Structure 1
């Protein structure tokens, strides 16, 4: 995620961002990663004792590697066509425009879903599909980061207030776990994660933030 203004050159923007919001070409070199978040998120997810985790919009697989380093069974996919080669086979390519994707995700039986700074890249007409995918991967909970209006960034086409995102997910049955995301934010080094990180749970899940 790179919080910079949109390129003035529309041809460059078309080269780097596809019609479904997925990055392409050499945009893979522009990902920023947060080691503090990776450590805290790994500890948090490990504490939940999940059987399986999915990172949607995983980029270069940085957070998938952080999960696996703790022995967590974690998959990751990204819209970049070269995801498999860019991650040395760790992650795979998938696109939110695939109408079968929510069903495919649901069949995997994931407990926790991670989706960091992806929502704002997905065009409004695919937002329902994205939400379906998030719900399909959040058997027990969801860690989400969404850019708010005015943040700016490469390919940001659907920045939304957190109140809007929270409402969308709560109406689908998730519950905001503010205690957990406020604690996780303390470990974030990149400003957009300190501002945008949210944690949701299924109703049966009690809040259980872990020591990081």
Structure 2
């Protein structure tokens, strides 16, 4: 499942480092948990910036491929409820929720809110493509779920990621930050507050991909090669 992650380790770590650099402009978490951490690239970036880390993922990750130590990892089925007594400065989940059962969506958001007052969230949108994507939703749907728990939506990362030449397109399109109402934030972050419906921004990459799919469907209906 993670063979491409291993093959693209350098690019994926570079993306994680850029995303962490952007995030640290607004918040400086001392502790971070990543739900669906994969090989741990984002946590590795957080650790380099002084945070203690916890990664949670399934048992299919080979420890020899992980870029974070075994002691920082915990195995769990994310389709099942997850809880810890500890709360973290930041809970993250990056391109994971689209792999979960649709009926797990609301409870997964609830788990993230129980883990931290600040959540970094990214998940695939409809027609994004990719293996095992069974729960594709526009970001506005997730934003409404967070709003139900009293979390406001902020958009400080997507456009800044677009300034990185080698940025993964799904990070330029999908990464948002959610903060619990009442939590003190910097004026710099406050400038990036958006309403949930504004979260469903679709980038050029996704738009062009969708157009190609529709054109191919038209050709197929017409019986064209």
Which residue, out of 92, 109, 125, partners 2:87?
Answer: 109
1:96 maps to 2:70: no
Per-residue Cα deviation, 1:87-122 (whole angstroms, up to 9, x for no partner): 2414221122333x23x2xx1211111110001100
Per-residue Cα deviation, 1:62-84 (whole angstroms, up to 9, x for no partner): 11111111211121111234455
CA-CA distance at 1:199 after TM superposition: 1.2
Per-residue Cα deviation, 1:111-139 (whole angstroms, up to 9, x for no partner): 11111000110011222221122112222
Which residue, out of 28, 47, 51, partners 1:68?
Answer: 47
Query: Alignment partner of 2:34: what SS?
Result: strand
Which residue is 1:172 aligned to? 149
Query: Alignment partner of 2:113: what SS?
Result: helix
Per-residue Cα deviation, 1:150-192 (whole angstroms, up to 9, x for no partner): 1011000000011111111111111011245543554471111
Gaps of 5+ in 2: 190-225
Which residue, out of 125, 149, 168, partners 1:190?
Answer: 168
1:128 maps to 2:102: no
Which structure has the greater CA radius of gyration?
2
Q: TM-score, normalised by structure 1?
A: 0.74
Measure the CA separation in 2 of the matches of 1:36 and 1:28.
Answer: 17
Higher relative contact order (CA 8 A, sep 6+): 1
Gaps of 5+ in 1: 1-26
**Residues 181, 197 of structure 1: 8 Å contact kept:** yes
CA-CA distance at 1:197 after TM superposition: 1.0
Query: Alignment partner of 1:152: what SS?
Result: coil
Which residue is 1:151 aligned to? 128
